[in-house]
Structure formats: structure tokens, C-alpha cells
A = this chain, B = another copy of it.
């Protein structure tokens, strides 16, 4: 498999991407990496790390999409960006998948325009595997789609279900709808209508789930509009930060606690790691004809490598084709 990596993307720029590419080819015999970006910069970075193999290639791209750049401007004006070239490699069959730690909105727009949505999907969605007390679950939409229709949510559920079945190998994924009460009549107009569609389908729909119960791990797929979805994700991020900060403050205000912390430090670090989404690879753009993965902007080389492995796996299993088949079959039953 060949994965095109937007080597200029992310908060740390080329160095961490080049590190990730070397880690990848050293760890996985079946994945080659195509570094896309400024040729001279990337050649220098590779050379300075002493890499001289032939499993990492470089594709030149003279422009870079900034993290906070408007996706539509990036799409229209930056025809030679590293992000665009990486997605073009997939479109042209020169790479099997594309990965970026860069601008997620721009990746979404490029994936949509260059690779097109799969049949039966109106709006592709951004999905990520997240930790729970039990097994990981797939959460979508992470914020790419707001003002969704009940049909959009139904399609998200189909896509998520197909992803979990084929990538996470769960035969009949339990699909839940994020709402603000467990009963069918709890929620807003959107979730109540989506509930009816899901209930009438042959998906393994287990009903509404509240955000406080998500981490218990009772669902394999959790579906919602991108607005509450993004609120959910960013709340977990902000709260984990403030809790760790508070724990530090309380520790520093007591000498007994300071002594205790010396013994507990590694346990606390393990908790921080279990909650760190960087450890969970990236977000997948579900519902386009190709494999596009977006990692966190702050992703480490290791996190980017796990995004690359995920992308390769997704492409190898041709999950996007399976998504299209699943959606067709769910629609047939529905009608």
C-alpha cells in the first residue's frame, strides 16, 4: 500500500511528518509513504535523518494550506498545495490513501471535490474511534456537518455501521443516537425524526444515548449532528485539561500530596495517555470514494504513523465501497 502524507500539515510541520514516515516504513513492511510538500525541505529532512531507502518517495508541492485558512479559499486558490496534491495522488491512483495533520475543513472540501461522495451519501462525515470503559466506539459527525437532516443522520449511521463492521470487525454494530434523554420522545425535532428512520431500518439500532453514558461503552457507533458532536468532543478535551491542572494545583498546595505524587506519577501519566486522543490515530472522512484520514494538528510522529496505518487498512479493505453497498441495502429495506 502507498499512503500520500501531507508532509507540510500540522502544528509541527515537516519534521514530525518525516519522522512519522520513517517510523512507518520501519514498522510496517506493507506500507510505503509518499511525502508531499516542498521537495528541497523534505529531501533535506530525510537526509539529515540518514534515511536512504526506496520506500519513502517525495512529490513536490510548492504551497501550504494554513491551519486556520478558509477551506473554500484553500480549494479555489491553492492549486499546488501539499494537501491538494496528496488527495490528487489518491484520485489518480498513484496512492491508496491520503493523510494530513493539517486543516481538517480543507481536507474535507478537497476529498469531496476531488474524490466525490459515494453513491447514496449526501454529506460525507468525519468519524473517529474513541476510548470508553470497555471497547472503543466510533463517533460521528465530529463537526464537519451542521444543520443536518434526519436523512443525513440516517446515512451517518449506515456509514458508521459499515466502518465498524469492516474495520473494527464487529458483526452487528450497536448504533446509538446522541440525545438528551434515553426515551424515543426525548431530544429535538432532528433526533426524534432520525430515531424513527433508524428504528425502521435493519441496523442494530439500540436507541438514544446521553453524553454522560457514552463512555460506558454500550454502543459501537454514536451518531449526531456535527454541532453537538463538536461540542461533545471539545468538552472532553477542555475538561480533561482542567482536571489535570486542578490535580496539579491541589498537589502543589500540600507537601504530603507532593510526596504521594512521586509514587503515583506513572499511574497519572497512564491515565493522561488513555484519555489522549493523539493515541487514537485520526479521524476518517467517511462517504467519499477514497481513504482520507485527518490526525490532530498537535499529533506526534507516533500518532501520525497510526493515522497512516489506519488509512492503509481502510484503503486495503476498500471500506468506502462497502459503505456504498451497505447504504444501498439499507435504503432498499427502508423503501
- Contact yes or no, A245 B147, CB < 8 A: no
Does A237 have its Cβ within 8 Å of any Cβ on chain B?
Answer: yes
- Give the CA-CA distance A250 to B147 in the complex, in Å: 41
Shortest A187–chain B CB gap in Å is 7
Q: Is the CB of A246 within 8 A of B274?
A: yes
Known: A143-B180, A250-B271. 19 other contacts (CB 8 A): A146-B189, A147-B188, A147-B189, A180-B226, A180-B230, A210-B234, A210-B238, A212-B238, A214-B235, A232-B235, A246-B275, A247-B268, A250-B270, A251-B267, A257-B266, A257-B267, A260-B260, A261-B264, A264-B264
**How many copies are assembled?**
2
Q: Kindly state whether residue A330 has any CB partner on chain B within 8 Å.
A: no
Bits for A262-287, please: 1 = Cβ < 8 Å to B, else 0.
11111110110011000000000000
> Are A211 and B188 in contact, CB atoms less than 8 angstroms apart?
no
Interface mask (A107-150 → B, CB under 8 Å = 1, otherwise 0)? 00000000000000000000000001100000000010011000
Nearest B-chain residue to A243, judged by Cβ: B243
- Nearest CB of B to A125, in Å: 14
Residue numbers in B under 8 Å from A226 (CB-CB): 180
> What sequence of 0s and 1s flags, for each residue 235-263 of chain A, a beta carbon within 8 Å of any chain B beta carbon?
11111111101110011011011011111
Question: Does chain B have a CB within 8 A of A41?
Answer: no
Also in contact, A234 and B247, with CB within 8 A (given A147-B188, A260-B264, A263-B263): no
| A247 neighbours in B (Cβ, 8 Å) | 267-268, 271
